[in-house]
Structure 1
Amino acid sequence: MERLRQQAEALLTDALRQITAYPELHRLQAGLKQALADLDGPMRVAIVGKLKAGKSTLMNAFLGEQKVPTGATEMTFNVNWFRYAETPEITVVFKNGQQTVCNFEELQDLTIRNSNKGDFIRNIKHINVGYPNELLRKFHLIDTPGLDSFYEVDAKNTLDFLGIGSDEIEKWTMSAAGDADAIVYLFSRTLSEYDLSVLRRFHGGVSQMNATNSIGVLTRVDDYFPQEQDAIGKARDIIDSTANEQAVLKKLFYTIKPICGILALGAQTMTREDFALLKRIAAFPAEILDRSVWRKGKEAFITRSFDTLPDFPVKEERARLAGKLGMYGIKLACDKIREGVDYEGVKKYLFEESGVEHLRQILISHFGNRSFIIKLSKSLRDLQKICFMARQGVSGKASEHVEDVEAKIASLIAKRHEFRELQVLRLYYEQALPFNEQEVRWILAVTGEWGGSIFQRLDMPEGAAFEELQKQAEQRMNYFQKKARTSFFMNRQAQDAASTIADSFALLLQHLKQINSF
């Protein structure tokens, strides 16, 4: 991958030098500069979804702190871009290109609509938030306004940021700075027609959304409680049925996972005082709590009197717990306390049950293992679009230079094996490749879906004998070479995919032979 990075850097640097003397190509120059800056930067992951899908709650759960404002009303007004920084910092980027630095404590006032800084906020393009969180070393996380916001400008801000706004062609001429490399799409309860219409636009639009760079998330699963005692299990059933009914989802998402953001955040911020309150509730028999507390719902839990239950927490204490954990979280915590689990154990259990840690690991493994190639692919294809638009407005030497830059980009994409592998993965997730279960397993392994070690890429146990690794690599290379040559009933793209995977095993075999030569 380092060799590819060097080639890309050389290409972009040379292209920028080539067009510097042409001011009419300023947008292409900006795109090249941004692509260069992005080579070594973290992957950019946008959290996207409808109003009240739980985007800000998930952001807080990822960060482990209440940093993004949430509430019963529409809160997020601008695109908020979270990056790693040693000390908390905020930079506001305005639509006219100007910037200003603000105190971190001002984030909520800058973000929510009912702020007293209305005119100031309306001129904001996005907010850069620097924060010392380890996940932000790997990814830039972008919190976005609801796609179906009551306020049209909010939805437009999000769609424009993702490159699928109404003025798509103009967006092609802009730098890749405002586009995400990957998307986490949130929906609650079920996918609405609006969700599906947005996803179709993603799939066919300039955002390049597909299963290699997109994950679906069913949020707010605690809403299924108390009608469903196993809220997470119910969510998994809904995901299965939804995926079966909507074939487009299998083409768009690498996976769809259920999460409970409020439970994840509550688990991470739970205090010992909160735990003491939970213990007082858990002291009552499970059947009494089920009949008199859980089934009554959140509002009754907070507001009603529990005079028949001595030492039951008072209203203010119950409101604090419900706001922090939700009713489902309180019930799960009480069940564990009744089993004798201590404070740290309950926190760990609730966080695991929330699904957020599993989602975070998927981000790291699926995106992280190939973040560079996904980022570079996105940058180069964005540059191709900028080149296309640039050629429409220039002539002479400037046009020739643009064509040359465009040809070099196309050549790099065509020649580098990493881009061919990424295309195979995309076709697989779009269910466009007629391979059997064993072939698919080999394909996913060798392309790094389960990790980058030799053992993982050959789907073999750690410590397998070197001779066996070499034997398997050679056998699978020969297998896919033969499949590419003799599978008359496969279409051209399936044959090309088989040839690409044969080359993947050939490169792996070459690497093994080099190791053996030492």
Structure 2
Amino acid sequence: MNEFIPLEKEVDQLFEKALSQTANQSALSDFHHLLQQCRRRIHQPMRVAIVGVIKAGKSTLMNALLQEKMVATGKVEATFNINWLKYAEQPALKVYFKDENRPPEAKSFSQLEALTLRPEEHQDYLLSIKYIEVSCPNPILKTFHIIDTPGLKSFYEEDSKNTQEFLQLHGEELTNVTQKEAANADAVLYLFSQSIGQGDAETLQAFQGPLAGNATPINAIGVLTKVDIYATDPNINNPMVAGSRVANGLLEKAQVRRLFYTIYPICGLLAEGSQTLSEKHLDILNRLAQLPQKRFKSLSRYTSKFTDPYELDDIPVSQDDRKAIEKQLGLYGVILAYELINSGINSREQLAEELLKKTGVNELRQLVLSHFGHRSLLIKLGKVLQDISSNYFQLRQRLQGEALDILEEISGQFDALQSKQHAFAELDVLRSHYEGKLNFDEKEEKQLLAVTGENGISCGERLELSEQATIEEMIPVAIERMQYWHTRANDYMSGDRATIAAATVLTRSYDRILYRLQKAKEYLQKANDYLYF
């Protein structure tokens, strides 16, 4: 096998050459600018858009993922603008306007809530905003830029009159903005909520249109939010288990499987509330924990009963405090906190940690990091190549002479990159797997996901070995896997054309891993020989 150049280095070299070729071509100035943008995008954190119908819990989830309350949430408010969250050492806020001649305005961080929600007196100003850039020193933003979208128009009967009037005035505009941002993002978290009794068909309608053509299992994850509310059903003991049943039922639908890698249930309100739990909240919970179990169970059967002003005589917590803790954690969170405190947990930090474990957010955060993060370069590059190809077809109609020759050459070089880079062949195999086209067993599917980067991009992670695995331990595994898939690729009796083609790609994947390990072994041997010389 000939020595290969790492993808990132080859992409950089290609952009450098293309930018040099277009630098002094006035007819290609717009194309040169696009190339500059694309190159910057490759080196920037991945853009993940949070998309869903208005009131689906987007801001609540974002706060939970960031482990801090970053943007405002509410029961009737609708987020007006795009919030683009980026990493910076110091918190900062900058407002960009739809009128490109209007310069951006710096704002204080304390003004974010007023700029995000829709108080009537600020509507004209809020509607003039294109997006709000929110910079903060949150570690997850080093890996991802998070784009919090206004939301897609909903027609749910349970929407308040206030929300319905708002949607009649601005719903279409916010939907169009949200769809555009979803199309421009590298990856999408699509949020939706579904009651236990709600029909699948009603929920599936929400997936038609907004994500069409933009979402695939490689770049989209569905999130079933507000699973906390399942706790109000007397027949449900564990909302997360019920949420998993709903999600798995949806994933059985072909139109859903074509869109999402998976659908993951979360208790969004509890996740946000547990991470912003204060000492005052802990005091309220400690007083509630003094109630006998039978009395607390009676009090916490329904939210209306828990916050009832007449339930005062034997309860050491005022109605205002009960409302405050229910708003912070939801009734499900209050019930969990009662059990945890009575099991011996007495510190705010420990209680918050234990509550968070019940929400599914830690697992979702890890899923986002592994499924998106380990393939970020490839996903970003795929988006960039689409943009370059689209621009090429628009430009070539009106160019001629040297400018057209340069454009054709650059387009051909980027096409060649995509056709010869093995990583794109792996991505095609992954797509075929998600579309159900491959006849692999469970063990083979696990190896496919690992070798294409689901667990990480190091040789050890792609071989499903621990981080401590040595080169001597990895080489025999790589050889065994390469030989297995080589045999699989030549087994024409038990495999269809797509499966055989996929097995051929995976054979080369393990061959490349083996090559890297052997080169590393040679390098270390030479280094040792030099030390003992």
* TM norm structure 1: 0.90
Q: Report the equivalent of 1:341.
A: 345
Deviations 1:57-108 (A, max 9, x none): 1111122332212112232111110001111111222223342222222222
Q: Which moved more, 1:48-57 or 1:477-486?
A: 477-486
- Displacement of 1:118 in angstroms is 2.7
- Displacement of 1:23 in angstroms is 4.5
Pair 1:156 & 2:176 matched: yes
Q: Of 243, 267, 276, which aligns to 2:274? A: 267
Pair 1:31 & 2:34 matched: yes
Q: Of 307, 311, 336, which aligns to 1:302? A: 307
Q: Report the equivalent of 1:384.
A: 389
Q: Distance in 1 between matches of 2:308 and 2:394?
A: 61
After superposition, the Cα gap between the structure-2 partners of 1:92 and 1:393, relative to the gap in structure 1 and judged at 3 Å, is farther
For 2:256, give the aligned amino acid.
L
Q: Distance in 2 between matches of 1:350 and 1:68?
A: 21
Q: Distance in 1 between matches of 2:29 and 2:130?
A: 21
After superposition, the Cα gap between the structure-2 partners of 1:493 and 1:54, relative to the gap in structure 1 and judged at 3 Å, is same
Q: Distance in 2 between matches of 1:230 and 1:183?
A: 28
Pair 1:280 & 2:287 matched: yes
Q: Distance in 2 between matches of 1:406 and 1:492?
A: 31
Pair 1:257 & 2:264 matched: yes
Q: Report the equivalent of 1:503.
A: 508
Q: Report the equivalent of 1:236.
A: 244
Q: Which moved more, 1:29-38 or 1:454-463?
A: 454-463
For 2:354, give the aligned amino acid.
Y
Q: Of 214, 229, 233, which aligns to 1:223? A: 229
Q: Distance in 1 between matches of 2:25 and 2:99?
A: 23
Q: Of 321, 327, 339, which aligns to 1:323? A: 327
Residues 473 and 506, structure 1, Cα contact 8 Å, conserved in 2 = yes
Pair 1:17 & 2:20 matched: yes
After superposition, the Cα gap between the structure-2 partners of 1:460 and 1:10, relative to the gap in structure 1 and judged at 3 Å, is closer
For 1:211, give the aligned amino acid.
P
SS at 1:216 equivalent: strand
Q: Distance in 1 between matches of 2:30 and 2:114?
A: 34
Residues 252 and 430, structure 1, Cα contact 8 Å, conserved in 2 = no
Q: Distance in 1 between matches of 2:200 and 2:404?
A: 45
Q: Of 76, 79, 103, which aligns to 1:76? A: 79
Q: Distance in 1 between matches of 2:518 and 2:61?
A: 46
Pair 1:57 & 2:60 matched: yes
- Displacement of 1:486 in angstroms is 3.7
Q: Distance in 2 between matches of 1:100 and 1:460?
A: 50
Q: Distance in 1 between matches of 2:107 and 2:258?
A: 42
After superposition, the Cα gap between the structure-2 partners of 1:202 and 1:154, relative to the gap in structure 1 and judged at 3 Å, is closer
For 2:31, give the aligned amino acid.
L
- Number of residues paired by the alignment? 497
How do residues 85-484 of structure 1 correspond to structure 2 at under 5 angstroms?
85-97=88-100, 98-148=103-153, 150=167, 151-163=171-183, 179-189=184-194, 196-197=204-205, 199-201=207-209, 204-205=212-213, 207=214, 209-227=215-233, 228-244=236-252, 246-291=253-298, 293-295=299-301, 297-311=302-316, 313-343=317-347, 344-460=349-465, 466-467=471-472, 469-484=474-489
Residues 51 and 182, structure 2, Cα contact 8 Å, conserved in 1 = no
- Displacement of 1:439 in angstroms is 1.6
Q: Distance in 2 between matches of 1:199 and 1:474?
A: 43
Residues 48 and 143, structure 1, Cα contact 8 Å, conserved in 2 = yes
Q: Distance in 2 between matches of 1:194 and 1:79?
A: 27
Deviations 1:232-255 (A, max 9, x none): 1211111122222x1222232222
Higher relative contact order (CA 8 A, sep 6+): 1
After superposition, the Cα gap between the structure-2 partners of 1:194 and 1:85, relative to the gap in structure 1 and judged at 3 Å, is farther
Pair 1:42 & 2:45 matched: yes
- Displacement of 1:452 in angstroms is 3.1
Residues 439 and 499, structure 2, Cα contact 8 Å, conserved in 1 = yes
Alignment root-mean-square deviation, CA = 2.3
- Displacement of 1:466 in angstroms is 5.0
State the percentage of identical aligned residues.
Answer: 36
- Displacement of 1:183 in angstroms is 0.7
Residues 51 and 74, structure 1, Cα contact 8 Å, conserved in 2 = no
* TM norm structure 2: 0.87
- Displacement of 1:220 in angstroms is 0.4
After superposition, the Cα gap between the structure-2 partners of 1:28 and 1:200, relative to the gap in structure 1 and judged at 3 Å, is farther
For 1:157, give the aligned amino acid.
V
For 2:60, give the aligned amino acid.
T
- Displacement of 1:144 in angstroms is 0.6
- Displacement of 1:230 in angstroms is 1.6
In structure 2, list runs of 5 or more residues that go unmatched. 155-166, 526-533
Q: Distance in 2 between matches of 1:203 and 1:493?
A: 27
For 2:186, give the aligned amino acid.
D
SS at 2:490 equivalent: helix
Deviations 1:123-163 (A, max 9, x none): 22211110111111111111111211522111111112223
For 1:55, give the aligned amino acid.
K
After superposition, the Cα gap between the structure-2 partners of 1:40 and 1:258, relative to the gap in structure 1 and judged at 3 Å, is same
Q: Distance in 1 between matches of 2:209 and 2:405?
A: 33
SS at 1:270 equivalent: coil
Residues 69 and 75, structure 1, Cα contact 8 Å, conserved in 2 = no
Deviations 1:341-394 (A, max 9, x none): 222322111111111111111111222222122112221122212212222344
Q: Distance in 2 between matches of 1:23 and 1:127?
A: 33
Q: Which moved more, 1:3-12 or 1:44-53?
A: 3-12
For 1:95, give the aligned amino acid.
K
Q: Distance in 1 between matches of 2:59 and 2:310?
A: 33
Residues 251 and 431, structure 1, Cα contact 8 Å, conserved in 2 = no
Q: Distance in 2 between matches of 1:327 and 1:24?
A: 63
